[in-house]
Chain A
Amino acid sequence: MRLDIVRVSKTFRGKVRALEEVSLTVPGGILGLLGANGAGKTTLMRLLTGLISPNSGRITIGDHDLATADGRLAVQRVLGYLPQDLGVYPDLTGRQFLDYVALLKGLDDRPYRRRRVGELLELVNIADAADRKLRGYSGGMRRRVGIAQALLNDPELLIVDEPTSGLDPEERIRFRTLLSQLAERRTVLLSTHIVDDVAQTCTELAVLGRGRLIYRGTVGDLTARANGNVWSLVGSGPAPSVGTVVSALPHDGATRYRIVAAARPSTDAEPVVPTLEDGYVLLAQQHSLTAAESAV
């Protein structure tokens, strides 16, 4: 299912500009959407689900124009959505909550609905707790219920906003694998600020910064951008003030720093092979520099 976002802007009451002239095309498969907190990712997700409308621009999903009520309804019929701040009814069990959402998604056939709910409870590994009240679920278990509800209607378009927050490492790996499998025959939009989630599941990504699209391309290209800009440096005392320190590990009584900087931060710094995180940090550096320059 193809997504076309054309020059979309969204400003909330109080003149908070969340998105500005964002254009993006997703032909299918899985697309990672990266950005810092407040970059506009969640606003874009909510626009795509039809929960809010843009102030300007146009969004088309498949053949459906989201500006029309019919278009929104048609998209919502094939949509699976995991919101960033998913809440649940604490007085329902996991199974009841999924049954309720399934009914709202139009799964009228009772035997099929029950079977589907059971399958998804197994898939997200909470079948044992299915008949316990959601009040007693941990954050990770609730997140898994959220993932299960998003898949109830076997959606053609799956939009997941920060899906792995609150999941333990094993669950995170399971979910990332699941997302990749799901993307084989549907469109998946994975919004996150966890770079590793994108690195492990996506080949294509977009990056938002301050409400603008600042990158659209492959994971490999963004990673390659950081070639020659990532350094390893061992030192003691305060952290280097040049560039951005990506990691700091204890090393023989000193600290080994991994630094993203356009120029060698010191003479004893060694260049290292970049990762996607390095590419993302460099992009963020360049973008904030551009923003600062344009402000001057």
Chain B
Amino acid sequence: MTAFAATARYELWMQLRKPAIWIATALPFALYALFAVLGTDSTGLQRYRYETSPKVWMVDALGWFTPVLPMIFGIVLADRLVRDRKLGVAELLDSTPANPGTRLVGKYLGACAATAIPVALLYVVVALGFMVWRGQPAALWWGLATFMVIVLPLLLLAGSLSFLGPQLMPTPLFRVLIVALFFWAAATEVESEFPSFAGTVFSLTMDYPLRVFFDSPNATPGPAGVALDFLRPRPTTGTALLSLALILGLAAAILAAARALNARTGE
């Protein structure tokens, strides 16, 4: 437990002091704020004039960030595991009695937590903005709910990919690929001719939880005969939870693969 807590604490501390995570997180929020203030009736804050549901505000705001945030997570987390070997620290840490698997999980959770903090803070700012503007404290609650259900699972998935990918390929190439992966996930639709997981329980834009828990109009099954239709069951609480479990399970499996590969590299 000490090794886990120590690794998580120091990883969190080191990652939080990286200006890159603050800058990378602030950029999409700055763009969002710019569009909100300067946007037209259909793109700016004005479109919320007759909308009274804080849930809609927060889900709508989330729609801006969902495709971009995992790309940012992937980019800023990509060096965390491989840098131990690059810096020459790995050999020393591996010679301690601390279990390597425990250390890896601590490093993963510490790095993910540090990456989540700037996002959470800026998300709170958005929620507070709505709360003050429309006098609805529930905006904070919906902000928290969307963060926990949508943002965190995506962060954990992007984090596990970032622990595995750079062990298999150069870190810059991995960064390009993770951006491409989440761009593909966000840009393709159910009816796209391009193969897509859109609208499935494996959706990397969290279509099922968004639809079921936050009434977002995604996760609609495609027309009959669309590829992978069997992965698009009727949206229910059960299928939304299944989708969440699949994303988290995928993250855990990828992290286990990262651990196995890291142990082999150490030999």
Binding site for B on A (CB under 8 A): 46, 49-53, 73, 76-77, 79, 81, 83, 85-92, 96, 100-101, 103-106, 108, 146, 149
In the complex, A204→B191 CA distance in Å? 77
B27 at the interface (CB under 8 A from A): no
Decide: B96 and A101 in contact? CB cutoff 8 A: yes
Q: A81 contacts B87, CB within 8 Å?
A: no
Segment from B2-10, B68-76, B159-167 that makes contact with A: B2-10
Q: Given A77-B97, A100-B10, are A87 and B3 also a contact pair (CB < 8 Å)? A: no
A90/B87 in contact, CB under 8 A: yes
In Å, the complex CA distance between A136 and B7 comes to 23
Chain A residues, CB < 8 A from B5 = 103
Please report whether the interface of chain B is mostly helix, strand, loop or mixed according to DSSP: helix
CA distance A105 to B2 in the complex (A): 9
Q: Which of B10, B93, B95, B96 has the most CB of A within 10 A?
A: B95
* Interface set of B (CB-CB < 8 Å, partner A): 2-3, 5-7, 10, 13-14, 17-18, 86-98, 103, 266-267
Q: List 30 A-B contacts (CB under 8 A).
A: A49-B95, A51-B91, A77-B97, A81-B95, A83-B91, A86-B88, A86-B92, A87-B86, A87-B87, A87-B92, A88-B89, A89-B10, A89-B14, A91-B14, A92-B14, A100-B10, A101-B92, A101-B93, A101-B96, A103-B2, A103-B5, A103-B6, A104-B7, A104-B93, A104-B96, A104-B103, A106-B97, A106-B98, A146-B92, A149-B92
Contact A91 B17 (CB under 8 A): yes
| Bound form: Cα–Cα A105–B92 in Å | 11
Q: How far is the CB of A108 from chain B (nearest CB, A)?
A: 5
Give B107 Cβ to nearest chain A Cβ, in Å.
12
What residues of chain A lie closer than 8 Å to B91, measured between beta carbons?
46, 51, 83, 85-86
Give the contacting residue for B87; candidates A46, A50, A76, A89; CB below 8 A: A89
B266 shortest CB reach to chain A, Å: 7
A51, A87, A90, A146 — which one has the most chain B CB atoms within 10 A of its CB?
A87
A73-B97, A77-B97, A103-B6 given; name 15 further pairs at CB < 8 Å: A46-B91, A51-B94, A51-B266, A76-B96, A81-B92, A83-B91, A85-B91, A87-B92, A90-B87, A92-B10, A96-B10, A101-B93, A104-B3, A104-B7, A146-B92
**Complex Cα distance A50/B90, Å?**
13
Residue of B nearest to A77 (CB): B97
Minimum CB–CB distance from B33 to chain A (whole Å) comes to 30
Report whether B267 and A87 are in contact in the complex, using a CB–CB cutoff of 8 Å. no
